[in-house]
A and B are shown apart, each in its own frame.
Chain A
């Protein structure tokens, strides 16, 4: 795998390999010595045009535990038409002899564009409203572990029902998750006010529902997405109160879930808006496991991009 720009870059085998390898990396994390020599001598640059301490740190630890040299570069401020062009920024960094760029950008498609300009590998660490493939992979990793706990070690995603609820229009997480969960065989239901549904969602391989309460009792997992309070001023919904009553994972809704259902959230959470503390901190919550899975999954992705000779593939 030369780049990971979108979940579309993966087939079922590729996605499963990343999840399986992540299990091995997760084992390594339990050891006293967490560092593996695998990517010794290779250089990874976290090129972040947008702040994200959580994702950046996760990639940084992943790279370091694989013995890569990891350099963080904040290109914040150059991500506009006024500053240095994206091409100049990317090519300048790549010219330093970098083996992979991990790119976060507020503009959709920026990592794909960069991949067309540079020779090194490019990993999408979240681009605008487009995709966040490593988040989807760590969500799937967490969910697979959950399913195996509930249904035994051979549990698969087939027939697994996942609801994704929240601001879907502006979410890169939902696009990657819909693609990956479908690839793995799960069934996805999207729930949101129509104003927060992406254009053309009817063509997506998902079920669209209006009423959260109809959906919840059927689900094996529920993913809540962050709803930014700023969206209110855009008129996407009238008040936080109305959103919470309509779509929030409240204490009451917690009772509607099946006993073995998982609650997930990519963070950062708006407690009291899309998710109550009872849901976030309760027994069904897998939210901290998601965070813990981040490093193992990103080690697995970096290993795929940098661990072999990519020239023979593609």
Chain B
């Protein structure tokens, strides 16, 4: 077992706190903001980010989630996946969307999320916040806010565990052929 912890719970909290400040600074406050998590782990992260923003501003920011299953380009490579819920708490047209996901890797998940958003409405702008950017993009996509830049080899496995889903919070990296946390 050679899974190495590269971010613990406290570091993750600090990263989110920082990202909350950055989001607020870039957008000039919470007005017209909506935070949308991408299931599975993007959803609790979105809620954490929204809570962090509220702690700073003292005003709640709307949070929702956007399921991208129906927009994936690799559906036929896997057994049929059950759908996650899509909950958009606001009219997108008048809002800036901050998409939240755990790991930014190839960029395909974010591309699917952009496709899904486009079918639902036309936000003023879309921004992207991720806890970890591990590189190896396959599409011209970049994150606006990153919790941690994590240089990896393409065959390494990055796993984000969150207390809400997994019982504990940690980001680990493991080598192929070894038992990583997944």
Contact = CB atoms under 8 A, between A and B. Distances in A.
| Direct A/B contact, Cβ within 8 angstroms | yes
A308 B76 contact: yes
Interface stretch (A32-40, A220-228, A260-268, A285-293): A32-40
A83 interface: no
A309 B82 contact: no
A309 B83 contact: no
Interface string B10-27: 000000000000000000
Contacts of A21: 82-83
A32 B106 CA distance: 30
A308 B78 CA distance: 6
A307 B74 CA distance: 10
Interface string B21-47: 000000000000000000000000000
Interface string B75-97: 11111111111100000000000
20 contacts: A20-B82, A24-B83, A24-B86, A25-B83, A31-B119, A31-B120, A33-B119, A35-B119, A36-B71, A36-B119, A37-B70, A38-B71, A303-B80, A307-B75, A308-B78, A308-B81, A309-B76, A309-B77, A309-B78, A313-B79
Given A36-B70, A37-B70, A308 B119 contact: no
A313 B81 CA distance: 12
A298 to B, nearest CB: 15
Given A24-B83, A308-B81, A309-B77, 14 more contacts: A20-B83, A21-B82, A21-B83, A33-B120, A37-B70, A37-B115, A38-B75, A303-B80, A303-B83, A304-B80, A307-B81, A308-B76, A309-B78, A310-B80
B67 interface: yes
Interface residues of A, number: 21
Determine the main DSSP class of A at the interface with B: loop
A37 B71 contact: yes
Contact of B80 (A27, A35, A37, A308): A308
Interface string A297-309: 0000001100111
Nearest to B119: A33
Interface of B: 67, 70-71, 75-86, 115, 119-120
B83 to A, nearest CB: 4
Contacts of B67: 24
A17 interface: yes
Interface in A1-59: 1, 17, 20-21, 24-25, 27, 31, 33, 35-38
A1 B85 contact: no
Contacts of A1: 80
A309 B79 contact: yes
Contacts of A17: 82
Nearest to B85: A24
Nearest to A307: B80
Nearest to A311: B79
Nearest to B87: A27
A200 interface: no
Contact of A308 (B70, B79, B84, B85): B79
A44 to B, nearest CB: 15
Contacts of A152: none
A33 B118 CA distance: 9
Given A27-B86, A36-B119, A312 B71 contact: no
A33 B79 CA distance: 27
Contacts of B77: 309
A33 B85 CA distance: 17
Contacts of B81: 307-308
